Amino acid sequence: MAKQSRHCYEATGSACSASDPAVTRALDRLEKKVLAACPDDATVRATGYGPLMTPATLVAQLEESCTGNAASLAARAFGGPHAASLAAAAPSERTCLLKAHKHTARLLGREFRRRSSCINRVRKGGQCDLIALDGKIAAEAARTTQKISAACKDVVLRDLVALDPNQLVARTQAQARCAVAEGHPSTQPLSLDCGPRPQVSVPPRGQAVQIVLDEATWGTRCALGDPYALWIRLAPDGFPVENIVFHLSGGGFCLTEPDCLATDPKFWFATDDAFPQGGWFDTSRADNPFKDWTLVYLPYCTQDGHTGGGKTSVFSAGTVDRYGGINARTALGYVRDVL
């Protein structure tokens, strides 16, 4: 899927269409293999999936993982889903981006297969040498970084996609770990930082719950150093939790010291924000089409438009930590892991 995605971007400058023959063939093969191995609900649940999982929903989950991972790889390597960096690239830059995509796609596939093989061996009663596994994965990542650096030796990759080769590889490895969590009902004996795990508490269905993220674990932070928090209300029992509304709170920007000093204090803290009650959050209204969806509210406490990557603005009166992008990305990941 990733290889075909690269071919489409290289040939047309955009993603493959949903009717692309190579894409439909790949998804058809996936569906046939899953349904052959998991023909009924009982078989699916016997493998360890939850009580709501059926053959059809399992196929849908795996197809989404397949297409979503290909899209993420392309967006990361080409400058967003519209491939803005690839479209504007000079010949040497274009070669760099296409090679970077090729090498990271291979890395994702190989890491996924290595981790999956370990899980399958243990599931069948065998053993997996985790130390050896980690060593092989680290070595593969190092080789990939070297290959990307060599392919991009005449350009600055960070100027094209805001990531250097090390960061690009690290993001790809994080994606691979999540792909493993998406593809298996249990990831034992692995300890992954993606998917269900003790650090991710699952709130009760149909109740709004505030989740305060510990900076030491999640790397999140509000502008004045306080903890970041989000609200989650999972869909009520009987309704699909994967139907989600995300709401990012507004609150403007502050760029200069006078701007920041004039900012309403409520926009500096996330834990003080209550779960909204109006609009699509009003679950008491019969005419609200989202009342039985999963509702997620992301407070705003960084004055950077939910885009900050961890820099700090230093003023005479104090500092402002710009973690908005980190907070938003981490919150989205938390919701993904809950589901």
* Residue 221, pLDDT score: 97
Q: Tell the burial category of 241 from Cβ atoms under 10 Å away from its Cβ (0-12, 13-18, 19+).
A: middle
* Residue 239, pLDDT score: 92
Task: Count other C-beta atoms under 10 Å from residue 217's C-beta.
Answer: 10
Spans of the chain below 50 pLDDT = none
Peptide bond into 227 cis (omega under 30): no
Q: b/e string for 106-130 if b means 16 or more Cβ within 10 A?
A: bbbbbbbebbbebbeebbeeeebee
Residue type, 91: P
* Residue 244, pLDDT score: 96
Q: What is the pLDDT of residues 212-224, one digit of tens each?
A: 999 999 999 999 9
Residue type, 84: A
